[in-house]
Amino acid sequence: MIQALFEQYQLQVSELSTLGHYKSFWIRNKIYVLVPVGSLKEEELAEMKRLSDYMIEQGDWSVGTFVPTVQGYYVSSLENEDYLLLRAMRQPEVQEANEGKELAMFHKRGTMFPGEISSINRIGEWKSLWEQRLDQLERFWNGKVIHHPSNVFETLFVDSFPYFLGLAENAIQYVVDTEIDDEPQVTDAATICQHRFTPDTWRNLRKIKLPTDWVYDHPSRDLAEWIRGAYLTKLPNTKERIMEFLYEYEQGSPLSAFGWRLLYARLMFPLHYFETIEGYYLSGSEQQREAHQERLEGIVEDAKEFEKFLGNFYTMIKLPVEKLGIREIDWMKR
């Protein structure tokens, strides 16, 4: 790999290290990250590069910039796999207490992007994407019901799916009602978001922001996924962490009623359940399947607690729902 990097990029690499899930290396005060192209399409990569260039122009040196090969290409073949090489400046250690503030600044810069984004645009598409995902999993579930589950995981899936189907349908309806009842404000403009933002996203990457992880979406996406991630860690101070994160964020970029409702809808959609089921059937090893089974058991066991968390969410964060005209879901508050 080191020799191939020299041939492709003319970079003298002494050793490879790990950054999150990625291979990386340092040259002076710059970190280089090798990102597998995977299923990313050419037009998606082109938009990610445009957003990356823009954010760096705005002064965000934590953003990875695309490094071309000596032939001028951005995709290189290393050990029979296609990679991108991203470079960023060394960042000070991330302080979680400031993560909400940093995310607000990141989003504000992202809303000012002057160009059109289409391939990685997700704004206004949650309903259709969720319906598509739900329909696919429901068809798969029907097949398992007809042919009977063959192991513990499938039995758990067959038994639990109707509940999470109902939760997903409620989330979809909440998006529909939000778009009918409420008007988007200036703060609801599309911005650069992470595909799946969690409390570990920036920390595991030493605060480096990888454009290959980006989509163009409503800012509430990142907030909802961070909260989901914080909830799933089950730390004793989860409530305080969520409150502090939202407070930090709102100091820099307050949410509208429309934004709060989208955040809640996304939090309600049981994405962690869907990803666990899908992950199990895409697993390449027994060890991975066992990990997904263990995760599913935890999700199902926690279902009522998660429902309670959702039912009390607006109260927990002290949001004045009546003043903002935000509808709560009665059955969740039982």
Mean confidence (pLDDT) of the chain: 93
Q: Residue 95: its pLDDT value, please? A: 56
Which pLDDT score, from 0 to 100, does residue 234 have?
Answer: 85
CA 252 to chain CA centroid, nearest Å: 21
Are 314 and 321 contacting, i.e. CB atoms less than 8 angstroms apart? yes
Query: What is the bridge-based pairing of β-strands 30-36 and 75-78?
Result: unpaired
Residues of the chain with confidence (pLDDT) below 50: none
Letter string b/e over residues 134-157, b meaning 16 or more CB atoms within 10 A of that residue's CB: beebeeebeeeeeeeeeeebbebb
Task: Give the rounded distance of the alpha carbon of 102 from its chain centre.
Answer: 16
> pLDDT tens digits for 112-140?
999 999 999 999 999 999 999 999 999 99
pLDDT in tens, 194-211: 999 999 999 888 889 999
Single pTM value for the model:
0.94
Distance CA 220, CA 101 (A): 14
Percent of the chain topping pLDDT 90: 80
Which pLDDT belongs to residue 282? Answer: 93
Separation between Cα atoms, residue 230 and residue 111, nearest integer Å: 25
Radius of gyration of the chain from its Cα atoms, rounded to whole angstroms: 21
Residue 213 burial (10 A CB sphere; 0-12, 13-18, 19+): middle
Domains along the chain with CATH numbers: 2-93 (3.30.200.20), 126-189+218-333 (no CATH)
**Phi, psi dihedrals of residue 207, rounded to the nearest 5°:** 75, 5
Residue 263's nearest CA partner among 210, 203, 193 is 193
Q: Which backbone phi and psi does 2 adopt, to 5 degrees?
A: -65, -40
Residue 171 amino acid letter: A
User: 241 CB contacts (<8 Å, ≥6 apart)?
Assistant: 96, 199, 230, 235
Residue 85's DSSP bridge partners are 34
pLDDT of residue 272: 97
